[in-house]
């Protein structure tokens, strides 16, 4: 076996004979190693039970570069200080071996155990396709590759002096390049590699679908929708995780070991998905569309037959499938990313227990691929991983239902009644930001800015149309003009992805959750510092859903029409979650907190007048203007809800009279007046109503509304949902 010299800073040196592991297999040369800041000679006779032996970390320096690899060089450890040597002595039972541990599943160390850990920093060389003999691990060469090996020593056994333990650890230094490397590891040892790159995996997951049935102006009367509230679709897909990760092997007794794949906490990452489906010549041959039809149609067979009979031209068939595939891919990407964020900080994304003695040729090949960054064959077997492999933890799997659901917006469905009619007569689109799938009537299609090439939809325009359509749906369903299954819900949502969020952005997103009634979102927001700083990639989803009862709450309370004061209060309360106390725009909270000031604002009315400005003598013009925008939003919201409520009240009063029918000319006039009111309302909706302010104002006015909030961020991840309530409106 080759040997090398280990020296210290005090002119002491000793020979180390490399064992059969990484030093002999992968190191093309063995230059001298120097342990800085440690007196190795002092440990030549010192045992682990000596009180002078403490937990310390020392630098390792190399006299010349070290190349690692086989036929082609994969990794290079440069000359100079590029490593550490750590002695670990636990202070209490089950002390964590790595502190801090940026990955998770820390190794507990018993009081009678000691560890020597050697960590080396290497650079990845060669192209992504270069043959590198098992030392690629999926890493992309953009960051340092950290190679770490920890050797356990038990005081219950006869252990050599500390220096001999150090030499033994260096001689046994392991890199988990393949199963042979793992087999050579010592029992109780831990070997890991970490850097930046791509992990590939494939799996089936259960994807919940949420149907969002929304109305257009002048819907028919008493039409029963042929749609459902949604269901679950099992979707197989391939995924790519891109970011910082660690592959870790912990050798257990005999031939057993743990193999884990961990994302680096606090660091950004991305996950992309591609569903296992293609474009078919007909819709009935596309499994994704058929699965969707089964979950959203009340009569999928009838809808299927009508679509076949309609003779859709191939371009439209292709568009429907292409948009569906893109929407599901995006939904899966968001959903699995949120699952990864939502994992406990101590959890691996994937963790397996392997008995090497029981492996077959097939399962060996699956594990070898996983060690090189391709987990596709391994993760897809979550229900039956194969001989010698036991699943301990998996990010995705056939029994996993993603918290993030697939939303299908049916714009104008109350006019068309059935899915097949909306598909045949309307237009299809998808939202590249949210992953929402859109089937829309011609009225809304022109407003959405649908890209005729990839059938993408402008996210801002879609959010505006959905918000307006929700108000229409609320009015028609509160007026009992349209019906659906008892479980049928409609919703308004707010979704935002900020790749470089600041502290203030994170506060804003958490406060939306607080406004929806989730206390831990409020608690997390309160802990954030006022000073602006980097908060990392943040994804937030807020949603409020309504059924007939909660839609009625928007306009009536105890059978009486809601008042101006109630709507003003809801609008003002929504605002308090969007302006931060002590922050740069805290002045916006004056309208929320001061009832007397709000009354004077109401009495003044004109936000551009000197009288309005005089209400805020200490504020600059730009701040007064911002308060004016808030005022206009709230007053518009109140006027819109009051006006709609008045039309609904008139209709309800008319129908309460004996003998009055929905076919009477007077009733149709009242319904047309409501339609005119709704058209005027949608023409004047503000951009803020499409965002979190409008969502919060609506939900605060409807105590029985359902609420959902999900936030993913390196520092905090939340996922909460409150179902629609059958309780009486407050």
pLDDT digits (tens, 9 = 90+) for 215-264: 988 788 777 889 999 999 999 999 999 999 999 999 999 999 999 999 98
CA angle, 470 as apex, 465 and 473 as ends, to 5°?
A: 125
Band of pLDDT at residue 128, cut at 50, 70 and 90: very low
Segment 111-121 mean pLDDT: 94
- Please state, rounded to an integer, the average pLDDT across all residues of the chain: 90
The answer to whether the beta carbons of residues 189 and 179 sit under 8 Å apart is: no
Residues with Cβ within 8 Å of residue 554, at least 6 apart in sequence: 474, 478, 546, 562, 641, 698, 701, 702
pTM of the model: 0.90
Residues with Cβ within 8 Å of residue 583, at least 6 apart in sequence: 504, 507, 530
User: Percent of the chain beyond pLDDT 70?
Assistant: 96
Band of pLDDT at residue 524, cut at 50, 70 and 90: very high
- Which pLDDT score is estimated for 355? 97
Q: Between residues 155 and 611, which one has the greater pLDDT? A: 611
Band of pLDDT at residue 69, cut at 50, 70 and 90: confident
The answer to whether the beta carbons of residues 252 and 477 sit under 8 Å apart is: no
The answer to whether the beta carbons of residues 159 and 153 sit under 8 Å apart is: yes
pLDDT in tens, 627-658: 999 999 999 999 999 999 999 999 999 989 99
- Which pLDDT score is estimated for 130? 40
- Which pLDDT score is estimated for 72? 57
pLDDT score of 202 more than 70: yes
- Which pLDDT score is estimated for 29? 84
pLDDT score of 728 more than 60: no
Segment 313-322 mean pLDDT: 92
pLDDT score of 484 more than 70: no
pLDDT score of 729 more than 60: no
pLDDT in tens, 144-182: 999 999 999 998 887 889 999 999 999 999 999 999 999
pLDDT score of 129 more than 50: no
Residues with Cβ within 8 Å of residue 475, at least 6 apart in sequence: 555, 644, 647, 648, 674, 677, 678
270 bridge partner residues: 242
Spatial separation of the C-alpha atoms in residues 124 and 62, rounded to whole Å: 18
User: Percent of the chain beyond pLDDT 90?
Assistant: 68
pLDDT in tens, 508-520: 999 999 999 999 9
SS3 17: strand
- Which pLDDT score is estimated for 727? 56
- Which pLDDT score is estimated for 127? 46
CA angle, 136 as apex, 133 and 140 as ends, to 5°?
A: 150
E strand residue ranges, 395-533? 406-411, 427-430, 437-440, 482-483, 490-502
pLDDT score of 500 more than 50: yes
DSSP for 39-83 reads -GGGGSS--TTSTT---EEEEEEESS-EEEESSSEEEEEPSEEEE
Band of pLDDT at residue 421, cut at 50, 70 and 90: very high
Spatial separation of the C-alpha atoms in residues 255 and 661, rounded to whole Å: 80
Segment 284-291 mean pLDDT: 92
Band of pLDDT at residue 726, cut at 50, 70 and 90: low
The answer to whether the beta carbons of residues 165 and 151 sit under 8 Å apart is: yes
439 bridge partner residues: 410, 428
Band of pLDDT at residue 345, cut at 50, 70 and 90: low
Identify the weakest region by mean pLDDT among 100-104, 288-292, 315-319, 558-562: 100-104
- Which pLDDT score is estimated for 225? 86
Q: Between residues 74 and 313, which one has the greater pLDDT? A: 313
Spatial separation of the C-alpha atoms in residues 665 and 702, rounded to whole Å: 32
Distance, CA of 216 to chain centre: 32
The answer to whether the beta carbons of residues 206 and 237 sit under 8 Å apart is: no
DSSP class of residue 550?
A: H
- Which pLDDT score is estimated for 101? 80
Closest C-alpha to 723, from 574, 545, 552: 545
Identify the weakest region by mean pLDDT among 12-16, 654-658, 684-688, 692-696: 684-688
- Which pLDDT score is estimated for 730? 47
Spatial separation of the C-alpha atoms in residues 643 and 673, rounded to whole Å: 11
């Amino acid at each position: 076996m080759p040997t090398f010299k280990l020296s210290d800073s005090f002119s002491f040196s000793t020979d180390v004979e490399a064992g059969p592991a990484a030093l002999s297999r992968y190191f093309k040369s063995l230059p001298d190693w120097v342990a800085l800041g440690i007196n190795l000679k002092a440990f030549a006779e010192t045992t682990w039970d000596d009180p002078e032996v403490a937990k310390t970390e020392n630098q390792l320096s190399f006299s010349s570069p070290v190349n690692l690899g086989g036929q082609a060089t994969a990794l290079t450890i440069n000359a100079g200080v590029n490593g550490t040597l750590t002695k670990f002595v636990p202070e209490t039972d089950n002390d964590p071996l790595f502190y801090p541990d940026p990955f998770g599943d820390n190794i507990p160390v018993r009081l009678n155990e000691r560890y020597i850990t050697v960590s080396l920093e290497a650079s990845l060389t060669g192209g992504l396709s270069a043959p590198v003999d098992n030392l690629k691990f999926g890493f992309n060469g953009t960051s340092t590759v950290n190679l770490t090996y920890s050797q356990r020593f038990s005081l219950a056994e006869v252990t050599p002096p500390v220096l001999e333990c150090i030499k033994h650890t260096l001689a046994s230094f392991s890199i988990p390049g393949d199963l042979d490397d793992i087999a050579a590891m010592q029992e109780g040892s831990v070997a890991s590699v970490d850097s930046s790159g791509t992990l590939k995996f494939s799996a089936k997951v259960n994807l919940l679908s949420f149907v969002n049935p929304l109305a257009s102006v002048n819907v028919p009367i008493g039409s029963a929708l042929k749609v459902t509230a949604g269901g679950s679709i099992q979707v197989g897909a391939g995924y790519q995780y891109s970011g910082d990760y660690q592959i870790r092997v912990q050798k257990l007794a005999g031939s057993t070991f743990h193999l884990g794949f961990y994302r680096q906490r606090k660091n950004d990452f991305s996950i992309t998905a591609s569903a296992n489906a293609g474009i078919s010549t007909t819709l009935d041959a596309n499994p994704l569309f058929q699965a969707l039809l089964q979950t959203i149609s009340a009569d999928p067979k009838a809808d299927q037959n009508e679509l076949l009979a309609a003779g859709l031209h191939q371009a439209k068939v292709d568009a429907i499938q292409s948009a569906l595939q893109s929407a599901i891919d995006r939904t899966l990407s968001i959903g699995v990313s949120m699952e990864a964020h939502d994992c406990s900080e101590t959890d691996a994304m994937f963790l397996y227990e392997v008995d090497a003695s029981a492996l077959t040729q097939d399962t060996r090949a699956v594990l070898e691929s996983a060690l090189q960054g391709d987990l596709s064959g391994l993760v897809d077997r979550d229900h039956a991983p194969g001989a010698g492999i036991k699943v301990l933890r998996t990010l995705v799997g056939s029994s996993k239902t993603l918290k993030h659901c697939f939303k299908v917006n049916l714009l104008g469905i109350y006019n068309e009644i059935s899915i097949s009619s909306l598909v045949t007569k309307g237009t299809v689109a998808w939202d590249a930001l949210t992953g929402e799938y859109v089937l829309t009537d011609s009225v809304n299609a022109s407003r959405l800015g649908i890209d005729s090439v990839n059938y993408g939809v402008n996210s801002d325009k879609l959010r505006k149309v959905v918000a307006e359509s929700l108000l229409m749906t609320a009015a028609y369903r509160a007026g009992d003009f349209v019906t659906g299954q008892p479980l049928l819900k409609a919703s308004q949502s707010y979704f935002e992805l900020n790749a470089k969020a600041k502290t203030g952005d994170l506060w804003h997103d958490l406060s939306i959750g607080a406004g929806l009634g989730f206390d831990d979102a409020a608690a997390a927001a309160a802990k954030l510092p006022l000073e602006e700083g980097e908060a990392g990639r943040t994804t937030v989803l807020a949603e409020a859903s309504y059924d007939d009862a909660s839609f009625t709450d928007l306009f009536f309370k105890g059978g009486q029409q809601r008042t101006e004061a109630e709507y003003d209060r809801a609008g003002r309360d929504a605002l308090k979650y969007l302006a931060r106390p002590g922050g740069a725009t805290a002045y916006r909270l004056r309208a929320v907190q001061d009832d007397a000031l709000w009354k004077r604002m109401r009495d003044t009315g004109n936000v551009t007048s000197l009288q309005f400005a005089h209400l805020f003598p200490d504020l600059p013009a730009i701040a007064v203007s911002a308060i004016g925008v808030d005022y206009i939003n709230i007053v518009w919201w109140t006027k819109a809800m009051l006006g709609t409520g008045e039309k609904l009240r008139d209709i309800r009063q008319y129908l309460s009279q004996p003998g009055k029918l929905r076919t009477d000319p007077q009733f149709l006039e009242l319904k047309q007046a409501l339609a005119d009111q709704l058209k005027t309302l949608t023409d004047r909706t503000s951009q803020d109503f499409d965002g979190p302010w409008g969502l919060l104002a609506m939900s605060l006015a409807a105590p029985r509304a359902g609420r959902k909030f999900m936030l993913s961020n390196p520092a905090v991840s939340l996922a909460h949902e409150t179902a629609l309530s059958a309780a009486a409106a407050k």
